[in-house]
Amino acid sequence: MSDVTQVQQLAAFAAGCRDELPAHVAEDVTNRIIDTVGNMLAGRAEATDRSDSGLAVQRVVQEWGGRPQAAVVGDAQRLPAVSAALVNGAFAHALDFDDTHLPSVLHPSASVVPAALAAAESVRARGTDVVAAVAAGIEVCNRLGMASYLPSLRNSLFFEKGFHATSICGTIGAAVAAGMLYGLDADGLASAIGVAASMGAGILEANRTGGTVKKIHCGWAAHGGIAAAALAREGVTGPPTVLEGRFGFFAAYLDGQYDSPAMLDDLGTRWELLRTVYKPYPSNHFTHPGIDCALALRAGGLDPADITEIELGVAGPTLRTIGEPRAAKVRPASAYHAKFSGPFTIATALLGGGGLGVYLDDFVPGAETDPDRLALANRVTCVDDPRASEIFPNAFAAVLTVRTRGGAVLSHRVDSSRGGPEHPLTLADHRLKFRLNAGRALPEERVTQLEEAATALAGGEPVDRLLALTLP
């Protein structure tokens, strides 16, 4: 065993974020907090049915009761921080509108931000502390995801084995963020990570055959992260070799196959956080390059009524999520499952969606039965595109080829989906997404106040004012 273990290196990095955070990193983190709060509000506003996962979680934690430490968006009742994080995290991920890190293909902000906000409110932390905590939590989460990427598979081993890296790594990222806000030093943060490693969980079968449990994965990660940090604060310790040990994290989840340098090299100078891609559309991120292609063809004058055949070429590893089984993808079981359908999202974009091109209104309950979209989706064949596969997972690429009734063949290709470093969203795009999302729950004047409060976090704005503005 080396003198400094892997968890100690990650913890030392996180603790150092309190003292020095590059300005461009702080700016990006502020954007991610704004994006996540908007997603939380939209997730809460769209939860209109008693069976919705987020509302189910909220009812359960209300039954649990406890000290009123932190706010739940859209509800005046306050809950213990651990419970508020669970509910808000469920709402943050419920609409599949949250960001994605590449190449690990996990969603860090929907776990880390709700945990940080709840922990911060419980100790009355200031915005500068929250920004540092979120930066460290997301970076640790992403670095763990990076360790799981195997070039031989061109995919994360978590996904190959059916694990949801988002909730597994997200629990540890959330623990780091909460631990920093609880005042843990490097040793305490190492213990928080060690405890959180025993709490992370999540499997991916719901993506294939249905079920709503995936919607709460980020909430459960936020919950576990706060619990782990609180336990570490009270003296519970984790094993020093929790990551690399014989029965540690990587042995248990990845059979010991992981990339240590990808996880540990250049901590604090190379920020994987900045490679986390924002979502312009509320659907599985693998569908986004195809949507980009469809929107480009539509902007060029393509009439969906003229289409006879559509071929969507994407990276091979993504087919299992957005293209298979074909029967379930051309006729999704629900509006939620339509978000994981390449054919359905292509049809939606070609017919013209809302927001930045495809929006929440395109996935309301009943949308999955729209005859025009179903007819167009049935013309879509999803195939493995070699170029997209070569690029994956460093970026999401696609090519869309359309044949028309007149015999024309039209094609458009993107090598990187909108929202990432190569094709970033503009500030206007970010603010439009936030205002549309927050506006589903709040009046326009409140949305403006909330946007201003969130933007001021890096300058020390108290976090409790931010959360108070999310209430009805």
pLDDT tens digits, one per residue of 68-80: 999 999 888 899 9
> 249 and 303: one domain?
no
Q: Is residue 97 part of a domain?
A: yes
Instruction: Identify the CATH number of the domain in which residue 368 sits.
Output: 3.30.1330.120
pLDDT at 2 over 70: no
pLDDT at 314 over 50: yes
Q: Is residue 337 part of a domain?
A: yes
> 289 and 272: one domain?
no
> 289 and 247: one domain?
no
> 230 and 154: one domain?
yes
Residue from 11, 105, 62 nearest 396 by CA:
105
Contact 351, 376 (CB under 8 A): yes
Considering the chain, what is the average pLDDT of its residues?
Answer: 95
Lowest mean pLDDT: which of 20-24, 49-53, 61-65? 49-53
pLDDT at 181 over 90: yes
> 225 and 370: one domain?
no
Instruction: Identify the CATH number of the domain in which residue 35 sits.
Output: 1.10.4100.10
Mean pLDDT over 27-42 rounds to 97
pLDDT at 103 over 50: yes
> 362 and 342: one domain?
yes
Phi/psi of residue 451, each to 5°?
-60, -40
Q: Is residue 426 part of a domain?
A: no
pLDDT tens digits, one per residue of 129-180: 999 999 999 999 999 999 998 888 777 899 889 999 999 999 999 999 999 9
Total domains in the chain come to 2
> 140 and 266: one domain?
yes
Q: Is residue 430 part of a domain?
A: no
Q: What sign does the dihedral 90-92-98-102 (CA atoms) show?
A: negative
Strand partners, 402: 310, 410
> 199 and 301: one domain?
no
**What DSSP designation does 441 have?**
T
Question: Which pair of structure tokens corresponds to residue 326?
Answer: 């074909």
pLDDT tens digits, one per residue of 356-393: 999 999 999 999 999 999 999 999 999 999 999 999 98
Q: Is residue 427 part of a domain?
A: no
pLDDT value of residue 239: 96
Percent of the chain with pLDDT over 90: 89
Parallel, antiparallel or unpaired: strands 75-79 and 100-101: unpaired
pLDDT at 28 over 70: yes
> 208 and 299: one domain?
no
Contact 202, 217 (CB under 8 A): yes
DSSP state string for 159-226: HHTTB-HHHHHHHHHHHHHHHHHTT--HHHHHHHHHHHTTT---B-HHHHH--SGGGGHHHHHHHHHH
pLDDT value of residue 1: 44
> 358 and 445: one domain?
no
* Residue position matching structure tokens 């999803």: 382
pLDDT value of residue 6: 98
> 54 and 184: one domain?
yes
DSSP state string for 40-54: HHHHHHH--STT-HH
Lowest mean pLDDT: which of 93-102, 289-298, 314-323, 458-467? 458-467
Q: Is residue 423 part of a domain?
A: no
Q: Is residue 149 part of a domain?
A: yes
pLDDT tens digits, one per residue of 203-241: 998 877 778 899 999 999 999 999 999 999 999 999 999
Domain containing 203 equals 6-279+435-468
> 396 and 445: one domain?
no
